[in-house]
Amino acid sequence: LTRQLLTFARGGEPVKKLINPVSLIRETVSFALRGSNIKSFIDIQDDLWSMEVDESQLSQVLNNLLLNAGQAMPAGGEVTVRAANEILLQDNPRQLPPGDYIRISVEDRGCGIPKENLARIFDPYFTTKPKGSGLGLASVYSIVKRHGGAVEVTSAQGTGSTFTIHMPAIPCGLPEDTG
């Protein structure tokens, strides 16, 4: 919570370095869901590009999304994390500059988000949870934006939610990480 407050309040400018995100994704999923009754499925494209990111902030983004997925399935369930390369063209729906990106999605089969809440989920301090701070998704939004990316959500009540982030990628970066 302290890290989220500092990231949100101070702007938490990323300290970027070139990484192959495969290991980071796998380790974060394993750590975030350890000890829970949530089963994870990881689907990562074989030749996933490199990224220039702040590793701890990207890990925080994934951790927050996985935490929310787990909270949407209190009786247990499944979460799928996918990562793939994507080339965005001019005038893409994410309103990002054209170029190379990595698309990471976190999909749960939980209760879903009511339509009336969808427009507010990234607002600071907005929460529907009795013990929530409302900073998790606000931090996700802030970190992804500061890295030059975008985040979006699709959800249907009773079916689940999918959070998708697009982060700038570097196609010819580090050697392949088999993670």
pLDDT in tens, 41-67: 999 999 999 999 999 999 999 999 999
Which residues are within 8 A (CB) of 73 and not within 5 positions of it... i.e. 6 or more apart? 38, 79, 108, 109, 110, 111
Contact 142, 7 (CB under 8 A): yes
pLDDT at 106: 98
Q: Which residues contact 118 (CB under 8 A, 6 or more apart)?
A: 153, 155
Q: Which of 1-5, 32-36, 64-68, 152-156 has the lowest mean pLDDT?
A: 1-5
CB atoms within 10 A of CB 103: 19
Reading the block at residue 178, the tokens are 């088999």
pLDDT of 129 > 70? The answer is no
Give the span between the Cα atoms of 133 and 130, in whole angstroms. Answer: 9
The answer to whether 164 touches 105, Cβ cutoff 8 Å, is yes
What predicted TM-score, i.e. pTM, was given to this entire model? 0.87
Classify 106 as helix, strand or coil: strand
Q: Given this model, what pLDDT does residue 14 score?
A: 77
Helix then strand count (H, E) for the chain reads: 5, 7
Cβ neighbours of residue 38 closer than 8 Å, sequence gap 6 or more? 69, 70, 73, 76, 77, 78, 79
Examine the pLDDT at 172 and tell me if it is beyond 80.
Answer: no
Q: What is the reported pLDDT for 12? A: 61
Place of tokens 């988000």: 113
**Tens digit of each residue's pLDDT (9 = 90 or more) over 66-85:** 999 998 899 999 999 999 99
For residue 76, the model assigns a pLDDT of 92
pLDDT band, very low/low/confident/very high, at 3 (cuts 50, 70, 90): low
Residue 173 pLDDT: 62
Q: Please give the mean pLDDT across all residues of the chain.
A: 87
Please check whether residue 167 is in contact with residue 53, taking contact to mean a CB–CB distance below 8 angstroms: yes
The rounded radius of gyration (Å) of the Cα atoms in the chain is 16
Question: What three-state secondary structure class fits 40?
Answer: strand
pLDDT at 125: 73
d(CA 3, CA 113) in angstroms, rounded, equals 26
Q: What is the pLDDT of residues 14-35, one digit of tens each?
A: 789 999 999 999 999 999 999 8
